[in-house]
Chain A
Amino acid sequence: MSEPTRPTIPAARPPSLVSGGEPHHASVTPVGGVAEVHEQQPLVGQDLRTEELVFNMGPQHPATHGVLRVVIKSDGEFVQGLQPHIGNLHRCCEKIGESVPYYQWIPYVDRMDYLAAMCNEHIACMAVEKAAGIEVPERAEYCRVIVAEVQRILSHLFAMGVYGLDLGAFTPFLHQFREREKGLDLLDHISGGRLLYHYVRIGGVKRDFTQEWLDELEAFLAAVEQRLPEYNTLLLSNHIFQQRTAGVGVIDRSACVRWGVTGPALRAAGVDFDVRRDAPYGVYDRFEFAVPHGHSGIAGVVGDCFQRHWVRTQEVEQSLRIVRQALKQMPQGPVMGKVPKSLKPVAGEVYVRGENPRGELAVYMVTQGEDKAWRARCRGPSFSNIAVITETAKGTLLADLVAAIGSLDIVLGEVDR
């Protein structure tokens, strides 16, 4: 078998053959792209007229992770251009943030990135606390870190399993569900919800951990630690998996910067950056953890699908480390600070950023001394990450497009907000 490399892709047809002047492999323009489709293609060679196929991938397509719609312009199996269309899951999260009191907005934030609700809450609460100058008890900070890291493990497990599914391996998907189920139960027992928790509250967290819960947490961590090598055997070290992902969907450093890609995708491109370490929030500066980033020492090319997947597997291990350290360091004390009954931060603006499983989530708020924000704005990692696909997937095979979208691990709830 060959070493994993990109498939040789026929070069775009030289413009000289194109009568229209405009090379027709140019990217599909947003809405007009669909109309452009039916325009007849010029003669190629002398006697063969070919026409590109334009089709919609999604919104109901198994590999678009929700309701993403991608208009693909393809030449057989080759993707010549594509345009993601978003907005099918728009739920006015930001607008709602401007119409309801602060504490009522937190549950809505859960619903943005529904696979990382704890992390979303954490960052949104931090924004409100910063605006209102609320002190959070130390124990609550540790609680937040623990649930956020458990959430990160769950989210990464899901991303890894679903990525297998995208590549046609069904079994790892259900195997990770076994561990994910334990984690969901864990968060259910502390918050009362399996997916959307509203556990982190402005000023602290809702409940303190009980001893039973801590035992359960320990069992979950042990289970993940034990199973992680199994998942890696099923996917990471699988020959076909490597062939499908190595060198595919490369997003290099400069593309990451240009498109604002963050999170595992950014780290896979070799950028050693993690908000938790480089701009620490909460008590993240008290833990020792590595920031795994793509490099040439492992299979694949820096910034390709394989390395993105690899970064996720490594981050799960680091999250386990963080949770264990937090459990050791956690002080006694209250888990809820003093929060005024009527929360009316003085006029001003705050910007808070944090590391979500998918990348950097930031919340920007303009307050005007009322009980609700004048402007609530979120910077979602999925939104920036999906945009880069227009550049990455051009000229690849259809199967590579699926691999690239899957490896970015987007959540449409956050893309549209």
Chain B
Amino acid sequence: MQQWLDQLAGSGLLAGLPRGLVYTMGAVGACTLVLLFASLLAGEVVWLERRVAGRMQARIGPNRVGPQGLLQFLADGLKLLGKEDVIPAEADKPTFLAAPVIVFMGAFAAFAVVPFGYGLVPADMNVGLFLILALTSIEVPGVIMAGWASNSKWAILGSMREVAQMVSYEMPLGISALVVALLAGTLNLSDIVAQQEGWIWNWYVLRGPFGFVAFFIFFTAALASLKRAPFDLPEAESELVAGFHTEYTGFRFAVFFLAEYSAMILFSMVTAVLFLGGWSPGFPVDLTGPAGRWIGFAVLFAKTAFLLFTMIWVRWSLPRYRVDKVMYLCYKVLLPFSVACVVGAALQVLVGDAVGGAFGRWLMGR
């Protein structure tokens, strides 16, 4: 990103401008692009979810607005904008208003460090992975604010569930991501992808058993922290009406909805980057050129779409877990296994170092 801006600043059009201004403009531009990408894609994921659900349930799903119903999300968004904006009389107004913003922030800010392709990253940080895990946790206070401020019993129950679930599942999530960090020796997402380039067995999901197990733990924990079925307890419709956003209407509800789906995209992309080789198509090809990076973007997009489809597929197939079973799964199954994976991955790195050669480098992960 910075190199790109340096080039831009050096070339004709922006030559006279101070470097700081160019950077600022670049940052604002990148943010706008990413925000547009994420929110438009979130809208389309809603469409995808409804179409896939329709197909799975022997019905059609939305197909009227735009080709194949692709513009349905615009119609839904406009409808929500036109709804009455209800703030419950007994609600804690400032908190009630702030909650959707915070949830939205947490879901969108993390896109800043996701590499969309070689060099296509708004902020190429060496703590990228850490930052993503940190930023997605911002959602927790937002949710508890929403539940508390609504002054509704269903909402508070839903937000309590959500907070318990998200805080718990961040542990297996973070620890299984640590497996990749150990193998890659870096937290920079672009570098993690760079080390998975080449043949398909370089992907961390296929580099030894620990990466393989960690991939499934990461994906399951991501499902849980996204409150996707079968872990959708915080908004379990048949139990808690709508959970923490029971009292939200109109555009505020839409913001929660959008945040949920953009978090889905985020986690799918991060999973693809960490375990499935990011923009690497699985065979050696140079995707660093100006055209190549967009091909890489398409490859990453395809992997993301597959993971998104899997999330939708799971949601419409399975019943919901019960709250104690969810916690059981987290603390007694996923957490021990993820810790074992970290230990195993560390040993794998040591063994790889000792063995040396091409195989050793493959084992080491770098």
Q: How far is the CB of B258 from chain A (nearest CB, A)?
A: 22
8 Å CB interface, A155-179 against B? 164-171, 174-175, 178
Q: Is A23 an interface residue (CB 8 A)?
A: no
A-B contact count (CB 8 A): 88
Q: Is A147 an interface residue (CB 8 A)?
A: no
**Contact across chains for B58 and A238 when beta carbons are under 8 A apart:** no
Q: Is A133 an interface residue (CB 8 A)?
A: no
Distance of A7 Cα from B325 Cα, bound (Å): 8
Distance of A210 Cα from B160 Cα, bound (Å): 59
Distance of A2 Cα from B232 Cα, bound (Å): 21
Distance of A53 Cα from B241 Cα, bound (Å): 16
Q: How far is the CB of A106 from chain B (nearest CB, A)?
A: 35
**Contact across chains for B316 and A171 when beta carbons are under 8 A apart:** yes
8 Å CB interface, B31-64 against A? 53, 56-59
**Contact across chains for A240 and B318 when beta carbons are under 8 A apart:** yes
**Contact across chains for B57 and A238 when beta carbons are under 8 A apart:** no
Q: Residue of A at shortest CB range from B316? A: A171
**Contact across chains for B57 and A171 when beta carbons are under 8 A apart:** yes
Distance of A131 Cα from B322 Cα, bound (Å): 51
Distance of A406 Cα from B325 Cα, bound (Å): 20
**Contact across chains for B238 and A168 when beta carbons are under 8 A apart:** yes
**A244: contacting residue among B160, B161, B241, B320, CB under 8 A:** B320
**Contact across chains for A1 and B333 when beta carbons are under 8 A apart:** yes
Assuming A174-B57, A174-B58, A178-B58, is B322 touching A397 (CB within 8 A)? yes
**Contact across chains for B319 and A164 when beta carbons are under 8 A apart:** yes
List B contacts of A315 (CB < 8 A): none
**Contact across chains for B322 and A399 when beta carbons are under 8 A apart:** yes
**Contact across chains for A165 and B238 when beta carbons are under 8 A apart:** yes
List A contacts of B126 (CB < 8 A): none
Q: Give 1 or 0 for each of A395-417: 1 = CB within 8 Å of chain B CB.
A: 00111101000100000000000
8 Å CB interface, B287-317 against A? 316-317
**Contact across chains for A168 and B320 when beta carbons are under 8 A apart:** yes
Q: Is A61 an interface residue (CB 8 A)?
A: yes
Q: Residue of B at shortest CB range from A61? A: B241
8 Å CB interface, B329-366 against A? 329, 333
Q: Is B179 an interface residue (CB 8 A)?
A: no
8 Å CB interface, B65-105 against A? none
Q: How far is the CB of A147 from chain B (nearest CB, A)?
A: 26
Q: Is A331 an interface residue (CB 8 A)?
A: no
Q: Is B239 an interface residue (CB 8 A)?
A: yes
**Contact across chains for B57 and A240 when beta carbons are under 8 A apart:** no
Q: Is B236 an interface residue (CB 8 A)?
A: yes
**Contact across chains for B57 and A63 when beta carbons are under 8 A apart:** no
List A contacts of B283 (CB < 8 A): none
Assuming A169-B320, A170-B53, A243-B321, is B154 touching A402 (CB within 8 A)? no
List B contacts of A165 (CB < 8 A): 238
List A contacts of B318 (CB < 8 A): 168-169, 238, 240
> What is the interface residue range for chain B against chain A?
20 to 34
Q: Is B177 an interface residue (CB 8 A)?
A: no
Q: How far is the CB of B220 from chain A (nearest CB, A)?
A: 13
**Contact across chains for A397 and B238 when beta carbons are under 8 A apart:** no
**Contact across chains for B239 and A399 when beta carbons are under 8 A apart:** yes
Q: How far is the CB of A223 from chain B (nearest CB, A)?
A: 12
List B contacts of A143 (CB < 8 A): none
**Contact across chains for A167 and B323 when beta carbons are under 8 A apart:** no
Q: Is A285 an interface residue (CB 8 A)?
A: no
**Contact across chains for B333 and A174 when beta carbons are under 8 A apart:** no
Assuming A167-B319, A170-B57, A238-B318, is B239 touching A2 (CB within 8 A)? no
Where chain B touches its partner, the secondary structure class is: helix
**Contact across chains for B157 and A171 when beta carbons are under 8 A apart:** no
List B contacts of A243 (CB < 8 A): 321-322, 325
**Contact across chains for B238 and A63 when beta carbons are under 8 A apart:** yes
Q: Give 1 or 0 for each of A1-40: 1 = CB within 8 Å of chain B CB.
A: 1100001000000000000000000000000000000000
List A contacts of B237 (CB < 8 A): 62, 168
**Contact across chains for B230 and A240 when beta carbons are under 8 A apart:** yes
Q: Is A193 an interface residue (CB 8 A)?
A: no
Distance of A119 Cα from B271 Cα, bound (Å): 54
**Contact across chains for B239 and A398 when beta carbons are under 8 A apart:** yes
Q: Residue of B at shortest CB range from A56? A: B153
Q: Residue of B at shortest CB range from A77? A: B323
**A175: contacting residue among B58, B240, B241, CB under 8 A:** B58
Q: Give 1 or 0 for each of B136-165: 1 = CB within 8 Å of chain A CB.
A: 000000000000000001100100110000
**A399: contacting residue among B58, B316, B323, B333, CB under 8 A:** B323
Distance of A168 Cα from B237 Cα, bound (Å): 8
Q: Is A235 an interface residue (CB 8 A)?
A: yes
List B contacts of A62 (CB < 8 A): 237-238, 241
Q: Residue of A at shortest CB range from B315? A: A170
Q: Residue of B at shortest CB range from A240? A: B319
**Contact across chains for A63 and B56 when beta carbons are under 8 A apart:** no
Q: How far is the CB of B171 from chain A (nearest CB, A)?
A: 19
List A contacts of B238 (CB < 8 A): 62-63, 165-168, 402, 406
Q: How far is the CB of B244 from chain A (nearest CB, A)?
A: 15
**B322: contacting residue among A55, A171, A234, A400, CB under 8 A:** A400
Distance of A243 Cα from B321 Cα, bound (Å): 8
List A contacts of B322 (CB < 8 A): 7, 243-244, 397, 399-400
Q: Is A76 an interface residue (CB 8 A)?
A: yes
List B contacts of A77 (CB < 8 A): 157, 161, 323
A-B contacts, 10 listed (Cβ < 8 Å): A2-B328, A77-B157, A164-B319, A165-B238, A168-B236, A169-B319, A170-B53, A170-B57, A244-B319, A398-B239
The 10 A-B pairs of least Cβ separation, nearest first, read A168-B320, A174-B57, A169-B319, A63-B238, A167-B319, A55-B153, A7-B324, A399-B322, A166-B238, A240-B319
Q: Which residues of B contact A (CB under 8 A)?
A: 53, 56-59, 153-154, 157, 160-161, 229-230, 232-233, 236-241, 316-325, 328-329, 333
Contacts A63-B238, A171-B317, A240-B318 known; 11 new A-B pairs at CB < 8 A: A1-B333, A2-B328, A7-B322, A55-B153, A61-B241, A164-B319, A167-B320, A175-B57, A235-B319, A241-B319, A244-B320
